[in-house]
Amino acid sequence: MLRLVPSRRPRKVEVVETNELQNRNLPSSNDTTTADSSQHALTCRYLQYSINERILIDDVSLSLSRTDITVVLGFNGAGKSLLLRLLHGMIKPSRGEVLWNGRPCNLAIRRKQAMVFQKPVLLRRSVVDNVRFVLENYGIHDRSRATELLEHVGLAHLAQRPARKLSGGEQQRLALGRALANEPDVLFLDEATSSLDPASVRAIEDIVMDARRRGTKIILVTHDIGQARRLAGEVLFMSNGRLAELAPANAFFENPQSHEALAYLEGRLP
C-alpha cells in the first residue's frame, strides 16, 4: 500500500510503504544525512501528536530554511497552532523529533525562542514591568534594556501604564516587544494579528521584518492571505494534521500543488 507525502507536488513527494513507515527506526539526532544543519534551522522527522489515540499531527517531516520567514497556512483545525507548539517544545510529540540546527529541542534552545499568541497574555503589571519580568527571567538585569525594547515597539511613552489597559494593538506590540527581549533565534507568531486593525497589523509586521533583518527566524501562523503574500519566504500548508505542501512562497501562490492549498487560495469552503 502506497502513500504520498505530501500529496501533489512532485519535487516534494516521498513515496514510502505505509508498513515501512510505521516500522522504520528513527535516525539518531547525530545522523547528519537527514539533518542538514548548515542550511536548515529546523528539521522535523516523522512528527506525530495524538491525544486519546486521536492523531492530531500525523507524520510531519520537513526542513525549514534558516533565513526565510515561514508562513503556516491551513484551514481551522488543520493543526497549525499545534505544530507551532510542537516546534517550540511547549508540548512533546507522541512520536518523531524536532531538531534545531541538528540538535534536539532542549531547555537552552527553548530559551532562545519566543512565541506571541493570538490573544496576548499580559501580566497584571505596568507595561515596563511586563518587559522587565521577561528580562529578569533571562538573567538580564539592565534596566535600560526594557526602555530600549519599549522604544523599539513604540510604547516607551506608555511605560508606566497598566499593561492590561492598553488597546489591542498596543497589547500585541507589547507582547512582541517582550518576546524580542532575549533577541531570540526563533520567533513564533500564532495568528498574532488576527484581531487587529490595518494600522496595528502594519506596526506588528514592521517589527517582525526588523527582527528578521537582525537574524531571527520567523515562523508565523496566519489566515490572512495578504499578510502571507507580504511576508512569506516559504509557505507550509497544513491539512487535517498532515503536511500538505511546503514550498517557496512564489511557487506556492502561483502554482499550489495540493488540492487543499488550491481550494484554500481560491477561497473555496472546505
Partner 1 sequence: MLRNYVFSLRNFRITMQDLGQSFALAMRLILDFDADLFEIITLSLHISLIATAIACVSGMMFGAFVAVKDFPGRSAVIVLMNSLMSLPPVVVGLIVYLSLSRAGPFGWLGLLYSPSAMIIAQVLLITPIIAALSRQLLEDLYQEYREQFDSFALSSMATVRAILWDGRYSLITVALAGFGRSVSEVGAIIIVGGNIEHFTRVMTTAIALETSKGNLDMALALGIILLLLSLLVNAMVSTLRLSATRLGYA
- Residues at the interface with partner 1 (CB under 8 A): 88, 90, 107, 110-111, 113-115, 117, 121, 123-125, 133-134, 137, 162-165
Q: Which is nearer to partner 1, 32 or 106 (CB)?
A: 106
Three-state SS for 16-27 is: EEHHHHHHCCCC
- Residue 126, helix vs strand vs coil: strand
CB of 215 to partner 1, least distance (A): 20
Cell reading at 137: 527571567
CB of 248 to partner 1, least distance (A): 28
Q: Which is nearer to partner 1, 74 or 184 (CB)?
A: 184
Q: Which is nearer to partner 1, 133 or 253 (CB)?
A: 133
Q: Which is nearer to partner 1, 47 or 115 (CB)?
A: 115
Q: Comparing C-alpha atoms, which of 180, 112, 170 is closest to residue 146? A: 180
CB of 96 to partner 1, least distance (A): 20
Q: Comparing C-alpha atoms, which of 71, 266, 104, 107 is closest to residue 188? A: 71
Q: Which is nearer to partner 1, 192 or 235 (CB)?
A: 192
DSSP string, 19-74: HHHHHPPPPPTT-TTT--TTTEEEEEEEEEEEETTEEEEEEEEEEEESSSPEEEEE
CB of 110 to partner 1, least distance (A): 5
CB of 179 to partner 1, least distance (A): 8
Q: What count of residues does the chain have?
A: 270
- Residue 239, helix vs strand vs coil: strand
What's the CA gap between 157 and 239, in Å, rounded? 43
Q: Given 3-state DSSP classes, what are the helix, strand and coil percentages for the chain, each rounded to the nearest 5?
A: 35, 25, 35
Q: Which is nearer to partner 1, 41 or 246 (CB)?
A: 41
Contacts of 105 (CB under 8 A, 6+ apart): 87, 89, 98, 99
Q: Comparing C-alpha atoms, which of 118, 112, 67 is closest to residue 221? A: 118
CB of 185 to partner 1, least distance (A): 13
Q: Which is nearer to partner 1, 163 or 244 (CB)?
A: 163
CB of 247 to partner 1, least distance (A): 28
